[in-house]
């Protein structure tokens, strides 16, 4: 009679291997549970984007090239999102039932430039705004802005929430927002401003129609073409600043807005962002902290060092002007603000008197000096009256709600080596007190 010999497979003859497999199978469910229930970076997701509004780009367009890695992955300051349905209902009520509040009057008429070329003294005179007297505030549009009448009417009809972006000079890819709720596309307006150079590329890839009479929709975005020969500024960045900071004028009936630099792809529903970062903290504006710089002068030095604005003399004049007119380095007296330097790629606004006034005042500074909006931010924020309430959230939160990409890589002429600028290059005697205070603060912080 034969015998059946049963042997243990060689794979399981090692006790160490068996114990390792047992440990893995036991701890895997626990690890998954902890990861998905206690992670500080886990945000509640809205219902999926309706498939009927989806959009596919041709492979030649490569809209997802040049993604940047996330530098701060721990996300120690995450923001919880409320239920999508509750948020949608609450923001609808805020938009539809908003009471009329004091509004700004704007300087109208024709000027010698789009912004009016006001002196530093004249610009500062508008910082203290008594809305009772309703003094007219300069806020651009003293020359024409080239928008078709059909687009202008569509912008006026946007009476709730608007998401705005701009691609000038084919500098970025046109990317679709992700994570939109099932009703968001019907309630939120998405407008993308482009110039002739960007339009030409999108037409070449069959993303846009060459027919001027058609309403160009690309996925969620309504495309607004700006005629290049009619743009008010020679500097492309300044033309992009117009929809960035004068959104309240382009969309006069909107109650909330989200500005999105074209290098970003939104990955969270804008209604959830507005609710968590504006509505709950009852803020006029929400913007993230800069990941590295705290003081305005630090940002000015970085601007010169990395040639983000090559004219060192104009930077020096700008810093002198701000020092002479009351700009102070960041200190604990400015709390709850933990920095004077924001990252302005994502800006959320409640359209009201204080938020609109801040945007106008900041735009006037950019028109006077340069498009580097971080340099004028603290100057306007700290000195304007009435005070604006800004929710300056942590940069880690910014990285969790948007994907950042490099700008389109283009071959450019070789330039002179970058000069490593220092504070001596961009400040004058009027900034000596600022620099002394800043150095004391930095020494005190490092000694803790």
Residues facing 165 on adjacent strands: 192
Single out the residue of 378, 343, 339, 340 nearest to residue 362, CA to CA: 378
Residue pLDDT, tens place only, 167-222? 999 999 999 999 999 999 999 999 999 999 999 999 999 999 888 778 889 999 99
Q: Are 277 and 79 in contact (CB under 8 A)?
A: yes
Torsion of Cα atoms, 309 then 236 then 153 then 274, to 10°: -40
Nearest to 247 by CA among 158, 375, 324: 158
What the block records as the tokens of 45 is 């997701």
**The pTM is what?**
0.85
**pLDDT tens digit string along 262-291?**
999 999 999 999 999 999 999 999 999 999
Model pLDDT for residues 117-159, shown as the tens digit of each residue: 899 999 999 999 987 678 899 999 999 999 999 999 999 999 9
Quick one: DSSP state of residue 115?
S
Quick one: how many helices (H) and strands (E) in the chain? 16, 12
261 HSE (CA, 13 A, CB side): 17
């Amino acid at each position: 009679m034969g015998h059946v010999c049963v042997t243990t497979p060689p794979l399981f003859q090692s006790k160490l291997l068996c114990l390792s497999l047992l440990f893995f199978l036991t701890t895997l469910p626990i690890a998954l549970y902890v990861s998905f229930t206690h992670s500080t970076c886990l945000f509640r997701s809205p219902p999926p984007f309706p498939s009927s509004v989806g959009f596919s780009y041709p492979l030649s367009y490569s809209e997802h090239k040049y993604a940047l890695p996330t530098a701060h992955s721990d996300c120690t300051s995450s923001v919880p999102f409320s239920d999508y349905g509750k948020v949608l209902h609450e923001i609808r009520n805020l938009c539809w039932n908003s009471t009329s509040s004091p509004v700004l009057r704007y300087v109208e008429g024709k000027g010698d430039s789009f912004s009016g070329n006001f002196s530093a003294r004249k610009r500062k005179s508008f910082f203290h705004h008594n809305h009772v007297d309703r003094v007219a505030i300069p806020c651009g549009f003293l020359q024409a802005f080239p928008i078709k009448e059909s687009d202008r009417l569509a912008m006026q009809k946007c009476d709730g929430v608007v998401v705005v972006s701009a691609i000038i000079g084919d500098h970025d890819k046109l990317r679709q927002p992700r994570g939109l709720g099932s009703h968001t596309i019907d309630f939120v307006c998405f407008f993308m401003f482009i110039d002739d150079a960007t339009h030409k590329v999108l037409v070449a890839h069959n993303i846009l129609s060459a027919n001027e009479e058609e309403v160009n929709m690309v996925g969620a975005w309504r495309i607004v073409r700006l005629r290049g020969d009619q743009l008010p500024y020679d500097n492309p960045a300044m033309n992009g600043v117009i929809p960035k900071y004068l959104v309240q004028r382009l969309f006069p009936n909107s109650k909330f807005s989200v500005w999105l630099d074209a290098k970003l792809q939104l990955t969270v529903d804008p209604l959830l962002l507005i609710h968590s970062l504006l509505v709950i903290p009852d803020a006029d504006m929400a913007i993230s902290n800069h990941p590295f710089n705290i003081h305005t002068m630090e940002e000015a030095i970085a601007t010169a060092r990395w040639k983000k604005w090559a004219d060192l003399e104009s930077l020096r004049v700008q810093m002198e002007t701000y020092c002479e007119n009351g700009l102070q380095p960041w200190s604990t007296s400015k709390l709850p603000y933990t920095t004077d330097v924001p990252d302005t790629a994502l800006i959320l606004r409640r359209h009201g008197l204080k938020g609109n006034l801040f945007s106008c005042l900041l735009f006037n500074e950019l028109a006077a000096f340069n498009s580097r909006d971080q340099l004028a931010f603290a100057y306007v924020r700290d000195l304007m009256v009435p005070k604006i309430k800004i929710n300056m959230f942590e940069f880690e939160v910014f990285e969790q709600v948007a994907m950042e990409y490099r700008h389109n890589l283009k071959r450019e002429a070789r330039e002179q080596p970058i000069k490593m600028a220092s504070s001596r290059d961009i400040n004058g005697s009027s900034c000596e007190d600022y620099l002394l205070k800043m150095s004391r603060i930095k020494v005190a912080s490092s000694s803790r």
